[in-house]
């Protein structure tokens, strides 16, 4: 029961710990039954520590070890990377509305405002990783048997993927990757990772909380206005050289006075409510946790204790909850039939929260007047996905959270996470979804155990 350790960097979980000379450590080590010691590079070089029992928790990264990072990103523009961008700079944003700081890596090797989320953009990581001796592999070949991502995964230590073009990290894939320590979501929403599998295989899952929440809220407002006013139809008439006003307005309404509700009032949901308030609408929400009286009063919000209660009174229903086993197919025929006839749905959360065929049926029958969003299941959506052709839809590919502005934030967030990981420093709590085999941080707050990746193999059906 005696163990002498030279600790350079990393994390040890220990129980019942005794130290030969407590003054060697500026920590109170005696009272805790289970204790985590985090030391940064060099801090405890050659100190002797007596440990009676070490729980099975290896150091995640040993200083000096070379790692392989697999990064799965979407394809470059068909015409190649732009020589010039539409705008010369991005506005400066200091903080998120709740005071949380933006990603703050020690340095970045990219120009904010440039394409970073595609293969050649590499999230601006190559110099940083290669200078430190690591290997970076970037690919967009992520679906179907024998794809490059699967081949490279087998000896990868870290995998990075974006929700817009997710690398579905199923339990079966994890089993091929014994070295895998961490899955980083360059964005928000880690449902493309089998979270139960990650817990079982001790793979940490982290995301860049808040990085694109406000980008999505802007997209939601755009979609509400364009659907209710029937912008797409009017724009099409102009492009076709027409001028028939009656055709253009027969489905066009004002948003003013409507009841607009959100399923989930998290970072996106609340921002969307704030952005919609000046349109003089009635605002409603459902969430597992109630907002403060102060926020409810500020936005004149009506709280509903169930989704059913909210959809029964709303003209526009926004969906902004995470996808997990409890929200999968929440909007099925049953739920849609409880909505007001002619209501609109905006879903920028995850495609699988809605039953795709039930949505198409409701648009055909007129139970829904419109459905818009940017999230599909799987992604890329097969070419014959019914949402591409159903009537009165306002779908985009998954773009709301990957504007050039958002890319700069999540690329910086990924860099910050990697810097912390290599330095043995804690990753911000709000970024954690799974850690040490359990839900952690934001994950413990907003997700439930289980997986939502079933059926993701259909993404291979998409043909460019
Ligand atoms: P937040 O974590 O800030 O908000 C999520 C909210 O959902 C929380 O308020 C949470 O409640 C609530 N929630 C969880 N489960 C349920 C449930 N069963 N019913 C109702 N509410 C629930 O995340 P964001 O607002 O930033 O993002 C939300 C989701 O949007 C992400 O999980 C992701 O799937 C999606 N997203 C999409 C993007 C895109 O590009 N289209 C980009 C970014 C995110 P509580 O906190 O009270 O537990």
pLDDT of residue 62: 66
- Taking CA atoms only, the protein residue closest to ligand 1 atom 10 is 446
Q: Environment class of residue 30 by beta-carbon count within 10 Å: exposed (0-12), middle (13-18) or buried (19+)?
A: exposed
Out of 287, 328, 440, give the residue to mutate to test ligand 1, the one with the largest number of ligand atoms within 8 Å of its CB.
Answer: 287
Out of 269, 321, 335, give the residue to mutate to test ligand 1, the one with the largest number of ligand atoms within 8 Å of its CB.
Answer: 321
pLDDT of residue 424: 82
* Å from CA of 322 to ligand 1 middle: 4
Q: In this structure, how many other beta carbons lie within 10 angstroms of the beta carbon of residue 138?
A: 21
Do 359 and 345 contact (CB within 8 A), yes or no? Answer: yes
pTM of this structure: 0.88
For CA atoms 456, 457, 462, 463, the dihedral sign is positive
Could you read off the pLDDT of 251-299 as tens digits, one per residue? Answer: 999 999 999 999 999 999 999 999 999 999 999 999 999 999 999 999 9
As a three-state string, the secondary structure of 179-229 is CCCEEEECCCCCCCECHHHHHHCCCEEEECCCCCHHHHHHHHHHHHHHHHC
Two tokens, residue 193:
């990772």
3-state secondary structure of 316: strand
Give the binding-site residues of ligand 1, using a 6 Å CB cut-off.
187-189, 212-213, 216, 263-269, 287-289, 320-323, 326-327, 348-350, 374-375, 398, 400-401, 442, 445-446
* Å from CA of 439 to ligand 1 middle: 15
Phi, psi for 86 (deg, rounded to 5): -65, -30
Strands 34-39 and 182-185: unpaired
Comparison of pLDDT for 429 and 7, the residue scoring more: 429
| 232 is known as an active-site residue | no
Classify residue 369 as left (phi > 0), alpha (psi -120 to 50) or beta: alpha
In whole angstroms, what is the distance from residue 38 CA to residue 12 CA?
7
pLDDT of residue 445: 85
In whole angstroms, what is the distance from residue 65 CA to residue 21 CA?
30
Please identify, by atom number, the ligand 1 atom nearest to the C-alpha of residue 327.
18
* Å from CA of 16 to ligand 1 middle: 39
Which of 39-43, 81-85, 95-99, 395-399 is predicted least confidently?
39-43
* Å from CA of 34 to ligand 1 middle: 32
Strands 10-18 and 50-54: antiparallel
pLDDT of residue 43: 38
- Taking CA atoms only, the protein residue closest to ligand 1 atom 16 is 321
How confident is the prediction for the chain on average, in pLDDT?
89
Q: How many residues does the structure list for the chain?
A: 464
* pLDDT (mean) for 23-46: 36
| 379 is known as an active-site residue | yes
Which one from 212, 234, 347, 435 is the annotated catalytic residue? 212
Q: How many CA atoms lie within 13 A of 242 on its CB side?
A: 11
* pLDDT (mean) for 96-115: 97
Give the Å distances, CA to CA, from 13 to 30, 125, 241, 424, 427.
14, 30, 69, 13, 16
| 229 is known as an active-site residue | no
Strands 432-435 and 393-395: unpaired
pLDDT of residue 162: 97
């Amino acid at each position: 029961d005696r163990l002498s350790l030279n600790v350079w960097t990393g994390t040890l979980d220990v129980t019942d710990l005794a130290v030969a000379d407590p003054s060697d450590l500026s920590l109170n080590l005696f009272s805790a039954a289970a204790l985590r010691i985090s030391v940064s590079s060099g801090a405890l070089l050659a100190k002797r520590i007596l440990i009676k029992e070490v729980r099975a928790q290896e150091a995640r990264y040993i200083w000096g070890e070379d790692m392989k990072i697999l990064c799965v990103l979407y394809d470059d523009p068909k015409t190649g990377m732009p020589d010039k961008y539409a705008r010369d700079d991005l506005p400066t944003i200091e903080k998120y509305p709740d005071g949380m700081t933006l990603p703050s890596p020690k340095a970045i090797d990219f120009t904010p405002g440039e394409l970073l989320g595609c293969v050649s953009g590499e999230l601006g990581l190559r110099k940083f990783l290669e200078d430190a001796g690591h290997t970076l592999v970037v690919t967009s070949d992520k679906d179907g048997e024998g794809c490059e991502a699967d081949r490279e995964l087998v000896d990868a230590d870290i995998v990075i993927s974006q929700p817009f073009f997710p690398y579905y990290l199923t339990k079966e894939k994890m089993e091929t990757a014994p070295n895998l320590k961490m899955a980083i979501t360059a964005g928000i929403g880690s449902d493309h990772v089998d979270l139960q599998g990650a817990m079982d295989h001790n793979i940490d899952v982290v995301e860049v909380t808040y990085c694109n929440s406000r980008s999505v809220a802007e997209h939601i407002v755009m979609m509400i206005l364009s659907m209710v006013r029937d912008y797409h139809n009017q724009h099409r008439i102009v492009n076709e050289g027409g001028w028939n006003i009656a055709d253009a307005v027969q489905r066009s309404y004002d948003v003013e006075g409507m009841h607009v509700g959100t399923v989930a009032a998290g970072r996106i949901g609340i921002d969307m409510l704030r952005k919609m308030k000046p349109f003089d609408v009635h605002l409603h929400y459902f969430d597992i946790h109630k907002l403060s009286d102060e926020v409810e009063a500020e936005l004149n919000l009506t709280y509903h204790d169930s989704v059913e209660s909210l959809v029964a009174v709303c003209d526009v229903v926004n969906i902004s909850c995470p996808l997990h086993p409890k929200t999968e197919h929440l909007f099925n025929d049953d739920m849609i039939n409880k909505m007001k006839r002619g209501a609109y749905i905006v879903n920028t959360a995850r495609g699988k929260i809605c039953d795709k065929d039930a949505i198409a049926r409701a648009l055909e029958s007129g139970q829904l007047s419109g459905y818009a969003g940017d999230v599909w299941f799987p992604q890329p959506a097969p070419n014959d996905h019914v949402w591409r052709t159903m009537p009165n839809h306002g779908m985009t590919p998954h773009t709301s959270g990957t504007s050039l502005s958002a890319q700069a934030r999540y690329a910086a967030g990924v860099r910050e996470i990697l810097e912390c990981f290599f330095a043995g420093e804690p990753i911000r709590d709000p970024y954690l979804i799974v850690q040490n085999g359990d839900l952690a941080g934001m994950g413990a707050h907003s997700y439930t155990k289980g997986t939502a990746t079933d059926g993701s193999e259909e993404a291979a059906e998409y043909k460019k």
